[in-house]
Structure 1
Amino acid sequence: MDPLIIALLGIGALLVLLGIGVPIAFSMTVVGIAGLLITTGPDITWASLQMLPMSSIASYGLVLIPLFVLMGNFANVAGISRDLYDTAYKWFGRLPGGLAIATVFASAALSACTGSSVAMVATMSKIALPQMDRYNYKRELSLGSVAGAGTLDILIPPSIIAVIYAIITESSVGKVLVGGIIPGLINAGGFIVMILIRAMLNPSLGPRAAGITWLDSLKAIKGVWGMIVLFGTFMGVIYTGITTPTEAGAIGCVCALVLAAVTRNLNWSAVRSALFETIRTGSFSRGRVSRSGSSVLPSGSTSRRQLW
C-alpha cells in the first residue's frame, strides 16, 4: 500500500479516536502501532517500539522546548504580559470591543515572548477577563477573545508546536519559526477586524472603555519595551544567522532573566515557580513527541513532507 495512503488513513483514524474522547497520547500510540503492523509486520513493529521512544526524544532540537518555556516564564516574572495588556488597553480601549481587541493585541505580542499557549491563555485570563467583566463585556466575546488569541502562540515564534512540527517533518527549525511570523500576524489581524465588526453591529457585546486620554495612550507606549528587547534579541540572532535556534533560546532565557532583574520582579519564589512549570511543560511536550514519532513512522519522512 502507498505510504501516503497509509498516512491519510492514519490521520483519519486519529481524528476519529480524538472525536470519541480517547486521550491524545493513547490515540497517537494506537494509530502508530497499527500503521507499523500493517507496513512492517509484528517483529519489526516490536523492535521499533523498543527503539522509537528514546530516539524520538533524543533529538537535539527538542532542547528548544524547555528553553522557550523558561523564557516565557521569566518574561511573565518580568511583568511583560501585564505591561503589554496595559499598553493595548490604553490604545484600543476607546474602540467598540476595545478591551477584546487589546486582549488579542497583547496576546500576539506576548506570543513573541513565550512558547507555551497554555501559559499565555492562563496569564491573559487573569489580566484581561477582570477588566472586561468590569465593563460588562458579554462572556461570549471576552472568553472567545482570550481563547482564540491563545492559538496565536502556535504560529508566532518562539512556538513549541512549530519546533515539534519541524522535528517530526525533518524541516529546518529556524525556517519554520521565521515562517510563522506573517501568518500569525494575519491571524491576529483577522481576530481584531472580526471583533471590531461584531462590536459595531452589537455595541452591547463590548462597550467602549471610558476615561482614557491620548496622553494616557502615549505614556503607555513604554510598556512594550520589554517585549521589543526580548523578541528582537531572540529573533535577531536567528534571522541574521549569528546563532542556531537552540542557542537563541538560551540567549532569550538569559535576556528574560535580566529583564526580570531590571524590573525588580526577580525573587527566589518566582524563579522556583518558573523552573517547576518549565519541567512540567517540557516533560509533557517530550511525551507528545515520542508518541507522534510512532504515529508518523509508517508513512516515511518523504511521504510526510508530501502530505504536509
Structure 2
Amino acid sequence: MEPLTLGIVVMAAMLVVVVIGMPIGYALLGAGVIGYAVLSGPSQALTQIGLVLWDNGTNFLFIAVPLFILMGQIIFHSGLAEDIFALAQRGTRRLPGGLGVSTILASAGFGAVTGSSVAAVATMGNIAVPQMIKHGYSDKLAAASVASAATLAIIIPPSIPLVIYGVWSETSIGALFIAGIVPGIVLTIFYALTVMVQRRQYPPTSAIVDRLKQEDMPMSRLLVAALSIALIFLLVIGGIYVGIFTPTEASGVGVLGVFVISVVARRLTAEALRAALKETVRTTAAIFLILTGGVILSRFLVQTRLTDAVVSLVAGLDASPQAILIALALMYLLLGAIMDTFGMLILTLPLVLPITIAIGYDPIWTGIYLTVLMEIAMLTPPIGLNVFVLERVTGVPAQRVFAGVWPFVAASLLLVLILIYFPALATWLPQTMQ
C-alpha cells in the first residue's frame, strides 16, 4: 500500500473507532502505533512509543500542566471560588441580569487562576446555578450561562490547552498566555451582554429579584478573595510578561501562592488537599495519554506525506485566507461533535498548523484561534463535555443546557470572525513583551 493511501486509511479508521465510543487517547495511540507498524515494521513502532514517552515525560515545559491543574483544584476545594462569586455578585446586583453577569465575571476570575474548564464548570455549577434558579432564572439560562462561562478558563491564562499547543508546536507558552488576555476579556464581555439581553425577555418583576439584597459574606472575607486572585494572576502572568519566570516556573510559583493563601486563610484541610492532588493526577494522566498518542500519530502522518498533501491541496485552492479559516472553523464544529477537545486539538495540529502558517497567520494567533474553537466544541452536542459535567453537578438535563447554549455559541463565533479579520487582537500584546 502506498504511504499516502495508508495515512488516509489509518485516519479514517481512527475516526470510525472514535465515533463508536473508543476513548480518544487510546484511538490516537492505537492508530499511530498500528500505522507505524504497517509502514516501517513493529520494531520501529515500539521504538517510537519509547521515544515519545521519554520526550514527553522529560519535557520541562510539560511540568506546567499538572501544576496549573493543581492551582485550580486547590482554589476549588478550599472554597475560595465561592468568595469570588459572592464578590462579583455584590458588584453587579444593580445590572439587568446581574446575577448572571456575576456568574460570567466569577468564571473569568476563576479562569485567571486555573486552566481547566471542567474544574470551572464543576465549581460554578455548584455555586451559581442554584442561586440563579432561586432568583427567577430558568434552569436553561442558568445552566447555559455557567457551562459557557466556564470555557473562559481555557482562553484566559493560564490555560492547559495553550500549554499543550505550545509544547507540541514549539511555540512560546508565555507569548500564548499573553495573547489570550485580550480575546479572553472580549469574550467575557460578549457573554455578559448575552446574559443581559436574554434576561430582558423576562417580566420586569423577575429582574427586580436580582437587585434584592442577599445574605452577604463579610466584606473582609470578600476582599481577601479578590486580593488573592489578583495577586496570583499578577504574580503568574505578570512574571511571565516581564520575563521573571518561564511558564513552568510561574506554575510552581502559582501553586505555592495559592497553597499559602489557602492555608493562611484556614480554608485548606488535609481532606481537601488530598482530593485536589487525586484529581490533578487523574486529569494529568488522561492529557498525557492523549498527547503521547497524538505525537506518535503526527509523526506517522509526516512519514506518509499526508500532511504535505493536505497543505498543498489547501494552498492550491482559489480562496482567500479568511475563507480557508472559516472553512477550518466549520470543520472544527463538526469534529467537536464526535471527539473531545484535547483529542481534536492534537489530531488536527499536524494538518492545520502548516496551513495557517502557509496562508500567513502567526503560530501564536493559531493557538488562540484553535482554543476559541475548542471552547465552542465544549458546548455543542452531542459530546459537549461542559454540558454533561454540569448535568452531573446540578441535575439540569443536558437537553435543557444544550437548548440554552446557542446564544453563547454565537458570541464565541463572533469572536472567531473578529480574530480571522483582525488577527492583531491576539498578537499585538505578545509583541510588547520584553
- Identify whether the pair has TM-score above 0.5, normalized to the shorter chain: yes
Query: Aligned ranges for residues 137-176 of structure 1 at < 5 Å?
Result: 137-176=137-176
Matching residue's letter, 2:231: V
Question: Which residues of 2 match residues 82-231 of structure 1 at below 5 A?
Answer: 82-203=82-203, 207=207, 208-212=209-213, 222=223, 223-231=225-233
Is 2:291 aligned against 1:289?
yes
Superposed displacement of residue 120, structure 1: 1.5
**1:232 corresponding residue in structure 2:** 234
Secondary structure of 1:136 counterpart: coil
CA 1:67–1:82: 2 relative to 1, 3 Å: same
In structure 1, distance between residues paired with 2:264 and 2:73: 16
Q: Deviations along 1:185-236, whole A, 9 cap, x unmatched? A: 22222211111111113458974413239x99x9897242111011111112
CA RMSD in angstroms, aligned pairs only: 3.3
Post-superposition Cα deviations, 1:231-251, rounded to whole Å, max 9, x if no partner, equal 111112111101211111111
Q: 1: CA distance between counterparts of 2:176 and 2:296?
A: 22
Runs of 4+ residues deviating >6 angstroms:
5-13, 218-221
Cα distance, 1:57 vs structure 2: 3.2
SS in structure 2 of the partner of residue 296 of structure 1: helix
Distance 1:97 1:30, change over 3 A: farther
Amino acid at match of 1:243: F
| Native 8 Å contact 1:153 1:159 kept in 2 | yes
Unaligned 5+ segments in structure 1 are none
Per-residue CA distance 1:133-187 (angstroms, 9 max, x = gap): 2113211111111111121111111111111111111211211222112222222
- AA matched with 1:224: A
Question: Counterpart of 1:171 in 2: which secondary structure?
Answer: coil
1:79-123, CA deviations, whole angstroms, 9 ceiling, x for partnerless residues? 331111001111223333322221111111100111222112111
CA spacing shift, 1:206–1:306, aligned 2, 3 Å: farther
Q: TM-score, normalised by structure 1?
A: 0.85
In 2 relative to 1, CA 169–46 (structure 1 residues): closer, same or farther, beyond 3 Å?
A: same
Whether the 8 Å contact between 1:93 and 1:209 is mirrored in structure 2 is yes
CA apart distance, 1:37: 5.9
Q: Percent identity?
A: 31
* 2:247 matched residue in structure 1: 245
Over 3 Å counting, the alpha-carbon distance change for 1:22 and 1:277 in structure 2 is closer
- Pair 78,59 (structure 1): closer, same or farther in 2 beyond 3 Å: same
Aligned residues: 305
Which residue identity is paired with 2:354? Q
Q: What is the CA–CA distance in structure 1 between the aligned matches of 2:14 and 2:202, rounded to whole Å? A: 40
Following superposition of structure 1 onto structure 2, how do residues 2-41 of structure 1 map, counting pairs within 5 Å? 17-33=17-33, 36=36, 40-41=39-40
Q: Distance in 2 between matches of 1:187 and 1:110?
A: 15
Question: Which residue of the other structure, out of 278, 284, 305, is the alignment partner of 1:276?
Answer: 278
Q: 1:307 aligns with which of 345, 350, 355?
A: 355
**CA–CA separation in structure 1 for the residues paired with 2:265 and 2:162:** 30
1:70 CA drift (Å): 1.7
Q: Which moved more, 1:53-62 or 1:223-232?
A: 53-62
Change over 3 Å in CA distance of 1:45–1:275 after alignment to 2: closer
- Amino acid of the residue matched to residue 254 of structure 1? L
CA shift, 1:31, in A, is 4.0
- After superposition, the Cα gap between the structure-2 partners of 1:176 and 1:203, relative to the gap in structure 1 and judged at 3 Å, is farther
Compared CA separation, residues 15 and 188, structure 1 to 2 (3 A): farther
TM-score of the two chains, using structure 2 as the length reference: 0.62
* Structure 2, unpaired ranges of 5+: 309-349, 357-434
User: CA separation in 1, counterparts of 2:9 and 2:204?
Assistant: 46
The change in CA–CA distance for 1:132 and 1:232 in structure 2 (over 3 A counts) is: same
